[in-house]
Structure formats: C-alpha cells, structure tokens
Structure 1
C-alpha cells in the first residue's frame, strides 16, 4: 500500500531549516526514511533554499517581503511547485534514504537507534485494555516521544489536544473517521481535532507518537490514570 498521508509543507520546511527540536525531528526523519515522495519534496526545498541564498539581495524587496510573511511563504510555495515540475524524479537528489534493511524491519532509522533495536526487542509497558507503549528518551524538553501498540480492532480512547500531536504508522493501520492510515502514513493533529482512531482488524497497530502537551481524554476513567501513564 502506498503512503497517502504526508508531512505538511510547513512542518517539512521547519525540518529543512533546522527549526524543529529533537522529538519532532525523530518523527519527520522516520517518515522520510519510509516516504520517497517526501524525500523528494525535502530535496526540492533544500535546492530552492540554496538558490535563494545564492541570488543577489535586493534590500528594498527584502524589506517589503519581511513585512508580509504570508506573501513570502506563498512565493516560496510557488517556486517549490515550479522546481518540482521542472525536475524529473530521477534527477532529484535524495536525502535520508531508507535503510537497506527497511524491507525486513519495522522500525527504520533513525528511530531504531533510539529504541535500541527493532520491535521484537521492545520492552512494552502496559497502558490498559490491551494497549502498550514505550517512552523514548530524548534531550528534548518540549515534546514526549513514544511507541504505541494498539490491539487489532480496538479504539484509542476519544481525545482532543492541548497542543500538537504527530503520529506515524509503522505497522498495521488505523481508521480515523473516513481516513485510513497505514505504514508510513503521517497524521498531524492540533487543538482543533477531537477524534478516536481505531486499529484495523487482523494486526496490532504500532505507531510513533510525539506530543507537546497532555491529551484531553473524554473518559473520566482515562483522565484519572493519565498522570500515572504520562500521556
């Protein structure tokens, strides 16, 4: 199954320009290891950024652009689209290629190094109702990173968000409303989203999840144990 849900342009641009902290970088870099399309998008951004830096600076034009950030971003998006249309896939440089072992492993690099091995080495911690997690240690004080294993056919408790949440599917799949997220698919959520993902039948769903604030669970029971499980 091909990847259907990709990193947003804003998040990918933050990654390309080094503006993401460690937790968020892990999620983006792991998706890039699985997604040739987003690796090409990243290469185009980097090529375009290099070309913009190399061009002579028009101080008056620069001041006008700085006064209108949205116009500047729209201009960059148009240039990215033009570069993508003009550059054949075979000629685009690729960064952060998938590991040569990706076909035999569930966890690609760089995530596998953080975990210390593939999923068969994970020492899962129970969350209740058959779900498990593994907190991943980082030096990032702004985000929590963890692996989640949701039992096949079972839902995640309904919840909203106090901040941003990134979810990357590594094995199995889940439904979120009408959308299906399978291996390599990437979901970005924020305070506007209230949802209840449900793992599909037949296989447990293993995901990488990164958050910068506790989730807002609808169930009082889940809220009661939330400080203990740290989600």
Structure 2
C-alpha cells in the first residue's frame, strides 16, 4: 500500500496536542494506522509540543489544570482524543481487516459483518456515534463505478478510503488516502471500477447537494 494523500499539518499538529474533537480524532487515528509516513510526522509534532510545554512557566495554574485534564483523557479511551481499541475483534489470519483499529472497535466488527443501511442508488452507510456534539461520522459504501451525487460543503469534510478507490477533481484516492474538503470544493466523487469503495467520512455541517430532490430528502438520509 502506497499512501499518496496525507493528513494536513494543521490537523496532525492539533491531533498531537489533543485539540481535536472525537470525530476528527478518529479519522486521523485511522489514517495513522495505515500511513507510516504520517506516524513519523506525528512523532515530530509530539516532540515539538513537548518542548513548547516544557518552556511554559511552572506557575501557570490554568495550563497546569489543562495539562492534567489532557493527561487524564489520554489515559482514558472513553474520552476519545486518541480513540483506543474497545472490544477488539481478532482478524482472520488469511485476510487483513478492512477496518483498522481504532475504527474497528468503534463499530464492533469488520466491514463485511456490519449492518449497512441503504442510502439509495446502491449506496450504504453505517453511522458511528461519537460524544463530541460537533461532528457527524459514518462509514460509506459506494458501488464500484458509481458516482456520488455532486455536492459542496458547509464546513470541513474528511474522507478516508478503506477499500477500493474513488476519483474526483483533486485526484485518485486509494486505501489509506485521506481527502480534506471545505466550502470551496464542489465535487462528484466516482468509485473506482472493480471494487466497492468503502470510506470513513467525517463532517461538521450538512453537505450541499446540487440536486434539488436530494436537498428535499436530505433530512431523512441524515447527511
């Protein structure tokens, strides 16, 4: 696996310092599980964050309290800064899991055993509950060769490919690749031929579909 599209410096530095809410953190952590290059970059950001913390005055009560809270959250997986494995699933020796940890423990199984909910046009989703109150997190399965309806974004969207591939205006994305979209991007991703595209999608605002019909049923779809 050769990951070509990586998590941005802004997101990775925020992840290293514990500033990301749970949904974004889950996407970054799952990408890190698939990307050795970004794991190396993360170590650099963690080293920088450690040096900055060491240089702060020891008498800064608010910072001391914040660091204590952060340390407690890092030690407690239930708070989700760096989501840890919960109820881990042992992968088959003959087949690597589609969903790496920590994502696999969030949904309780690997992709083939999940209860996928239809979205229409052959697409399916699995909503993933989080406790951050900010993000919407879901697994999506798009049929091979099929397009996603054209849309723009009301905020940030992270899309991490876990199986298959998709292509859009920004290029081709395969397993391990992550795309970061914002209000400026309007696109129509198309799943690659030969294999359904399974991806993790995290948003902080509803998508803006070009189709009026999709806009009407969007509250029902929950996307």
Instruction: Give TM-score scaled by structure 2 length.
Output: 0.82
**Equivalent position of 2:41 in the other structure:** 41
Structure 2 residue 222 is matched with structure 1 residue 230: yes
Q: 2:16 touches 2:49 (CA, 8 Å); kept in 1?
A: no
Unaligned 5+ segments in structure 2 are 58-81
Structure 2 residue 133 is matched with structure 1 residue 174: no
Structure 2 residue 191 is matched with structure 1 residue 199: yes
Bigger radius of gyration among the two: 1
Matched residue of 1:160: which SS? strand
Change (3 A) 1:56 1:155: closer
1:217, 1:187 → 2: CA distance? 18
Report the CA distance between 1:54 and its aligned residue.
3.2
Q: 2:211 aligns with which of 219, 227, 231?
A: 219
Report the CA distance between 1:53 and its aligned residue.
3.1
**Equivalent position of 2:15 in the other structure:** 15
Report the CA distance between 1:20 and its aligned residue.
0.6
1:130-167 deviation digits (Å, cap 9, x = unpaired): 00001001112100000000000000000000011000
Change (3 A) 1:35 1:225: same
Matched residue of 1:4: which SS? coil
**Equivalent position of 1:68 in the other structure:** none
2:187, 2:144 → 1: CA distance? 18
**Equivalent position of 1:31 in the other structure:** 31
Matched residue of 2:44: which SS? helix
Q: Which runs of 4+ in 1 moved over 6 A?
A: none
1:56-84 deviation digits (Å, cap 9, x = unpaired): 87xxxxxxxxxxxxxxxxxxxxxxxxxxx
Q: 1:184 aligns with which of 176, 179, 202?
A: 176
Figure out how many residues of one structure are paired with residues of the other and give that number: 194
Report the CA distance between 1:224 and its aligned residue.
1.5
Q: 1:159 aligns with which of 126, 148, 151?
A: 151
Report the CA distance between 1:223 and its aligned residue.
1.0
**Equivalent position of 2:142 in the other structure:** 150
Change (3 A) 1:146 1:191: same
Map residues 59-208 of structure 1 onto 2, 5 A cutoff. Answer: 104-177=96-169, 179-208=171-200
Report the CA distance between 1:178 and its aligned residue.
5.4
Tell me how large the CA RMSD over aligned residues is: 2.3
Q: 2:23 touches 2:137 (CA, 8 Å); kept in 1?
A: yes
Change (3 A) 1:174 1:54: same
Matched residue of 1:108: which SS? coil
